[in-house]
Structure 1
Amino acid sequence: MPSAFGFRFDNTYRRLPAPLFSDCSPQSVSTPQFVLFNDRLAQEMGLDSKALSAHPEMFTGNAPLEGSEPIAQAYAGHQFGNLTMLGDGRAILLGEHLGDDGQRRDIQLKGAGRTPFSRGGDGRAALGPMLREYLISEALHVLNIPTTRSLAVTATGDSVLRESPLPGAILTRVAASHIRVGTFQYAAGQQDPALLEQLVDYTIARHYPALKGAENKALALFEAVMDQQIDLVVGWMRVGFIHGVLNTDNVTLSGESIDFGPCAFMDSFDPNTVFSSIDRQGRYAYGNQPSITQWNLGRFAETLLGLMDENTDAAIEKATHSLKSFSQRYEEKWHAMMGKKLGLFGSEAEDDALIADLLTWMHEQNADYTNTFRDLINESLPDREQYQSDAFQHWHQRWQARLGRNRKPLASSLCLMRNHNPAVIPRNHLVEQALEAASDNNDLAPTRALLAALADPYADRDIDDPYRQPAAPGERVYQTFCGT
């Protein structure tokens, strides 16, 4: 039966063996108050949004939700290549809500206090990073990229100490699940094949029920997760999104984007773009995201070898054969995506060169990634010097000729382009300005205005619209931070 607020909890994860989680309750806070409440998401989940929006204490440790059974999940992670035992250090899973739409969604509080996995941390979160996660996750959602969602940001009334005292907040995160590659790494580290097999069966039942009858469940799960991750990264590449900390603990088996610490969106096109202050070697640069995803999947495959085949050599051969197909699968989907960004139907031998030459020109000209593709949709290009160059004019003529050979009318090509090239993204300088206003001056107007602009990112906007403009030289953001 649903609670008074519409929650229907059915907490299956905590029925798994105890090594995968630890009982842990969120801690109370001084004066909970909603900063943001996602009314649309609440309604999608079948919740009583009007009633909930008057009770911020429900999203803290002050008033536990009926039916919730809070736990902190255990997991490991290759962080910048180094394996570490981790776990939810400042996140507490309340349980799994069954919505009216039949979807099962994790409800998690991020910044809700210390857990057994806090590793000396305070388990709390500052307002700025929680607003960033709300902004970016909801932006990815409307950009049609799989992602965890944000139901609310709740101010705690307490300060958290980082480099200086900052206003504290809790994010209510919603996810298909929080099962990660790192979850399997943790389970494999327990040296208990039965535990690992239980986790495989659970993940298949929850996310890939069509695989229940598979002859080799572990291999089938690996293949399915690889396909999901390829789709996810292709989506990131389409809109210029850079995750920033693509460790194995941030790779979900559901195929959702998760954890938005030092993430950012690329302005000028450059495959080497890095924003994260902790990514000093560029491991997680924009152009490295596909290869790092393949590397992370390799770590996932290692956890499953004993279940893929009793013979170690045979298991390695199966996993390696599958993993080697990543590059071809990714390239096929990436080229199909880029074709849609350029309004191409079907495929021609010249298409690869057409795509590559445009990206090379964009890199050389420091052209804005988002605006360049959006400009191509217009009947006439903006009066910008870069579009007058011989190199671009030659490319544009080739592209126009290719559109002329499409099997569908020009209007269909332009519609395809509009649906795959956003006019608005969360520009880094606008995100930082919004977070600074909220954290320093308790001013949420810039955050709400940015959310409003992002609500319909594919709609046409005037070329001079401030939400379409790259940062001016004095506004440019060169580094982003985790906030932990």
Structure 2
Amino acid sequence: MTHILSLHTPAFAQLPESFYRRVSPEPLNQPYWVAQNHTLAAEIGMPSEMFSDGMLAYLSGSAAHYDPAPIASVYSGHQFGVYVRQLGDGRAMLLGDWFDPAGGRWEWQLKGAGKTPYSRFADGRAVLRSSIREYLCSEAMHGLGIPTTRALALAGSDDAVYREEAETAAVVTRVAPSFIRFGHFEYLYHNGRHEQIATLADFLIEHHFPDCRQAENPYFALFQQISQRTADLVAAWQSVGFCHGVLNTDNMSVLGLTIDYGPFGFLDAYDRRHICNHSDTGGRYAYNEQPYVVHWNLSRLASCLLPLVSESALIDELERFPDLFQTAYANKMRAKLGLQTEQKGDDELIADMFTALQSRKIDFTLYFRHLADVGNRHDDPLPEALMALFHGPTESFIAWIGRYRGRLRAENSDPAARKMQMHAVNPLYVLRNYLLEQAIAQAKNGDYREIERLHRCLQNPFAEQKAFADFAEAAPDWAAQICVSCSS
């Protein structure tokens, strides 16, 4: 059966040809399905029979013909703080655009379908291990309500790909309104193509930020909106204990999407200094550093807009970022704590809580879930499940609980209503690394059922689902030994 897909020429191809190169996928030998995202397919209006044999060939880079011809874009970026003159889509290629029933445009990319002119030190392939991680985490983030690229399908092959050792190949089909990064602007600016900075900014305004057209300076308005989206994004990451792992500027989306899932991780035991990337020996991208490094990344983007926006205006906007982030973060945390009002001491209340959690390395996800069972009254017994996380109460936490309960009483908080509200924003399930490791181990033996189970569970991470009780447990001791690096 042939595929029934008809993608449109990508809007990105309207840009000058110096922005990209046309490429051809490299076929896999005997590709097979690993995962199919029927939920996303339905959301974007794909026909029910799309996951056919013909579509398998198409989405594994193995079709005989591609129309429109795929393209790979060029960009640069700061990697671990060091500018790299040319990067680009070294493992990804843009197939085309799809319009959903509401008229929304989705770019489709294959990741792992072979070399492009921008492939560096590698073969353009992706391995099954890292592809499963991206497929599941992008959909897990969507389930949490955090802006992200999405994953439509995952194909595999027994073809060998070499990283630290020989592994098998895989191709992820990922979709997003746009994959444009901070690094696209950096490439133009640092290569002296200043006239094309306006070309790219105009493209973004036309397709993704149309309200900027009415501003006195549309380019400054564009930067303001990117800054706000970025602040909201990193606040959302912090609120669920998500560590990206490699926040280089080329991994930053101008649309405020979580993009490029490599050495990511969700906090198990709370540690503000947690480093999820084994390659990050200096802790540049540690959990508590994410708001600061994202701010620094925005300053790199701002410098690229100097041909279009005054330096003073850009500096003023950059100086606003800490407040943008703190406002977004405080709002997230108040909701997680079930607080109804904003008060002067909120920042201190939140900070002191995390100090108490830090001393015992408390499970981040389960803590907030069990906190919903705390009563308002001083003499209400503390929930057993909550105290079990501490292995016995600590003086600092008991003192904090007293302040918290006082705040709840001052708000006349209704415990039942508060619990419902807190459960609606505090997930019971997150994509813990040990769960991924288990799914990957089974997939290497040709068993993909755990991938499907995790995907189904994480579509609704806030509602308790008895069928997935094993996903709601704290990480086992061996999980602390999991090593995730940039090759992941």
TM-score (norm 1): 0.94
Separation of aligned partners in 2, 1:391 and 1:120: 50
Query: Residue 243 in 1 paired to residue 244 in 2?
Result: yes
1:271-420 equivalences in 2 (<5 Å): 271-308=272-309, 315-378=310-373, 381=383, 382=385, 383-384=387-388, 386=391, 388-406=393-411, 409-420=414-425
Separation of aligned partners in 2, 1:277 and 1:390: 34
Of 231-240 and 387-396, the range deviating more from structure 2: 387-396
Deviation at 1:65, TM superposition (A): 7.3
In the other structure, the counterpart of 1:93 is: 94
Deviation at 1:52, TM superposition (A): 2.8
Deviation at 1:194, TM superposition (A): 2.3
2:478 pairs with 456, 474, 478, which one?
A: 474
In the other structure, the counterpart of 2:17 is: 18
1:429-448 equivalences in 2 (<5 Å): 429-439=434-444, 441-448=445-452
Q: Which amino acid is 2:73 matched to?
A: Q
Separation of aligned partners in 2, 1:480 and 1:120: 19
3-state DSSP class of the match of 2:187?
helix
In the other structure, the counterpart of 2:73 is: 73
Query: Residue 465 in 1 paired to residue 465 in 2?
Result: no
> 2:7–2:68: 8 Å Cα contact kept in structure 1?
no
In the other structure, the counterpart of 2:430 is: 425
Of 15-24 and 411-420, the range deviating more from structure 2: 411-420
Q: Deviations over 1:33-73 (max 9, x none)?
A: 11101011111111113233443001133226764331001
Deviation at 1:10, TM superposition (A): 4.0
Q: Deviations over 1:88-127 (max 9, x none)?
A: 1111111121111211111000000011111342111111
3-state DSSP class of the match of 2:153?
strand
Deviation at 1:223, TM superposition (A): 0.6
Of 155-164 and 283-292, the range deviating more from structure 2: 155-164
Of 329-338 and 235-244, the range deviating more from structure 2: 329-338
Q: Deviations over 1:406-441 (max 9, x none)?
A: 2663333222211211011111111112112212x2
Deviation at 1:465, TM superposition (A): 3.3
Deviation at 1:371, TM superposition (A): 0.7
In the other structure, the counterpart of 1:117 is: 118
Query: Residue 28 in 1 paired to residue 27 in 2?
Result: yes
Query: Residue 82 in 1 paired to residue 87 in 2?
Result: no
Q: Which amino acid is 1:446 matched to?
A: E
Distance 1:64 1:302, change over 3 A: farther
In the other structure, the counterpart of 2:378 is: none
Distance 1:38 1:245, change over 3 A: same
Runs (5+) with no aligned partner, structure 2: 375-381
> 1:10–1:97: 8 Å Cα contact kept in structure 2?
no
Separation of aligned partners in 1, 2:300 and 2:250: 11
3-state DSSP class of the match of 1:465?
helix
Of 97-106 and 255-264, the range deviating more from structure 2: 97-106
> 1:346–1:407: 8 Å Cα contact kept in structure 2?
no
In the other structure, the counterpart of 1:40 is: 39
Distance 1:297 1:127, change over 3 A: same
> 2:60–2:113: 8 Å Cα contact kept in structure 1?
yes
Q: Which amino acid is 2:116 matched to?
A: T
Deviation at 1:359, TM superposition (A): 0.5
Of 53-62 and 39-48, the range deviating more from structure 2: 53-62
In the other structure, the counterpart of 2:377 is: none
Separation of aligned partners in 2, 1:56 and 1:270: 42
Query: Residue 161 in 1 paired to residue 156 in 2?
Result: no
3-state DSSP class of the match of 1:35?
strand
> 1:129–1:482: 8 Å Cα contact kept in structure 2?
no
Deviation at 1:305, TM superposition (A): 0.5
3-state DSSP class of the match of 2:250?
helix
Of 337-346 and 430-439, the range deviating more from structure 2: 430-439
TM-score (norm 2): 0.93
Q: Which amino acid is 1:98 matched to?
A: F
> 1:345–1:407: 8 Å Cα contact kept in structure 2?
no
Q: Which amino acid is 1:184 matched to?
A: F
3-state DSSP class of the match of 2:365?
helix
3-state DSSP class of the match of 2:437?
helix
Q: Which amino acid is 1:18 matched to?
A: E
> 2:75–2:187: 8 Å Cα contact kept in structure 1?
yes
Count of matched residue pairs: 475
Distance 1:64 1:221, change over 3 A: farther
Large movers: runs of 4+ above 6 Å = none
Q: Which amino acid is 2:422 matched to?
A: M
Q: Which amino acid is 1:17 matched to?
A: P
Q: Which amino acid is 2:485 matched to?
A: F
Deviation at 1:386, TM superposition (A): 4.1
Separation of aligned partners in 1, 2:406 and 2:252: 41
In the other structure, the counterpart of 2:58 is: 58
In the other structure, the counterpart of 2:379 is: none
Deviation at 1:6, TM superposition (A): 5.0
Separation of aligned partners in 2, 1:416 and 1:29: 48
Q: Which amino acid is 2:355 matched to?
A: T
Percentage of pairs with the same residue: 37
> 2:141–2:147: 8 Å Cα contact kept in structure 1?
yes
> 1:277–1:480: 8 Å Cα contact kept in structure 2?
yes
Of 445-454 and 326-335, the range deviating more from structure 2: 445-454
Query: RMSD between aligned alpha carbons?
Result: 2.0
Separation of aligned partners in 2, 1:458 and 1:353: 27
Distance 1:447 1:52, change over 3 A: closer
Q: Which amino acid is 2:257 matched to?
A: E
> 1:141–1:149: 8 Å Cα contact kept in structure 2?
yes
Q: Which amino acid is 2:345 matched to?
A: E
Query: Residue 213 in 1 paired to residue 214 in 2?
Result: yes
Distance 1:389 1:278, change over 3 A: closer
